[in-house]
A = this chain, B = another copy of it.
Amino acid sequence: MPALLSPSVATASALPDPQGTAAMAVSFQNLGRSFGTGHGAHTVLREVSFDVQAGEIVALLGPSGCGKSTLLRAVAGLDTPSTGAVTINGTAVSGIDSRCAVAFQEPRLLPWKSIAGNVAIGVPAGANAARTREVVERLVGLVGLSEFAGHRPREVSGGMAQRASLARALARNPGVLLLDEPFGALDALTRITMQDLLLDVHQAEPTTVLLVTHDVDEALQLADHIILLGPDGTGAPGATIVRTVEVPGPRPRDRASTALAGLRSSLLASLGVNGH
């Protein structure tokens, strides 16, 4: 089963070399987003304000459809907020922002390029061919797809495509890394391996990471801060920040720690899940 990762793949020796952009601070200033106009208008995000320090990992949690992807898109400059603004390192985002790299919620691979070719798109322009090949080869290996480097996206499984999309984002070595549920389609083992990979990459090159996830455990393992989006209970339309949590302890964290278990229950309760 070449598609399977042996847990030893993501060792630090195989990490991307530290040549990327320095990590950048991201600030949301009173961000709001509505879709449609007039009668059919509906507000998705409202008065979202928070700052992410350079090099931090921030996890975004929230119910399905609350606007997490929309928030990430605003950072990348793929969506224009209706109100407020996002700034990266103090300058406002307007239009597609080259300081970011995105792993979209769906893999969005080019069907006519191989897995390796798709990952190569992530490599910043200006890299020469040899260096591009080297980066691609390493990252494809790190996400466990070496044997499938030449396959087309339609010839790999859903989880494999997701990993290719992650590799493409990592190849960019960006100031801000935006990950929209990057491990959603992965089995338990591969998921842990990929989480470790992300942490290794982050340690070698402490970039700013905004991570959307539905997995509270994952957020607790990876993030410095967790932000909970959702309706604030005032009845005002749209989601906003309902809670922020600072996760204690250095990474890697003990998945069995009681402090985390308490936080976990508390976060789940905030998400509306009780007693599990």
Chain A interface residues toward B at CB < 8 A: 1-5, 7, 35, 42, 61-69, 105-106, 155-160, 163, 180-181, 184-192, 214, 216, 230-231, 237-239, 255-256, 268, 271-273, 275-276
A187 touches B64 (CB 8 A): yes
A185 touches B2 (CB 8 A): no
A155, B192: Cα distance in complex, Å: 32
A230 neighbours in B (Cβ, 8 Å): 1, 4
A1 touches B159 (CB 8 A): no
A156 neighbours in B (Cβ, 8 Å): 65
A158, B184: Cα distance in complex, Å: 11
A214 neighbours in B (Cβ, 8 Å): 185-188, 191
A5, B64: Cα distance in complex, Å: 9
Number of copies: 2
A188 neighbours in B (Cβ, 8 Å): 214, 216, 268, 271-273
| Further contacts, 8 of them, CB under 8 A, given A35-B155, A65-B159 | A4-B64, A4-B66, A4-B231, A63-B190, A105-B185, A185-B214, A192-B276, A256-B275
- A147 to B: closest C-beta gap in Å: 8
A68 neighbours in B (Cβ, 8 Å): 157
Q: Within the complex, which residue of B63, B190, B273 is in contact with A1, where a contact is CB–CB below 8 Å?
A: B63
B63 touches A239 (CB 8 A): no
- A253 to B: closest C-beta gap in Å: 11
A157 neighbours in B (Cβ, 8 Å): 64-65, 67-69
- A136 to B: closest C-beta gap in Å: 19
A106 neighbours in B (Cβ, 8 Å): 106, 158
A66 neighbours in B (Cβ, 8 Å): 1, 3-4
